[in-house]
Amino acid sequence: MRKTLRILGMVLCSILLAVGLGACGGDNDDDVNQSIVGTWETVSNSTISQLTFKSNGSCAWREWESGRPDDVDTDRGTYKVNDNCLYIWWESESDEDGPWTATFSISGNKMTTSENGGTVWTRK
Domain ranges of the chain: 28-123
Distance separating alpha carbons of residues 81 and 78, to the nearest angstrom: 11
How many Cβ atoms are within 10 Å of 76's Cβ, its own excluded?
12
Q: Which residues contact 52 (CB under 8 A, 6 or more apart)?
A: 38, 39, 40, 59, 60, 61, 62
Distance separating alpha carbons of residues 92 and 103, to the nearest angstrom: 22
Q: What is the pLDDT along the chain (124 residues), one digit of tens a residue?
A: 333 334 443 433 334 333 333 332 334 444 455 689 999 999 998 999 999 999 999 999 999 998 777 789 999 999 999 989 999 999 988 777 789 999 999 999 999 999 877 899 999 9
Fold of 28-123: Lipocalin (2.40.128)
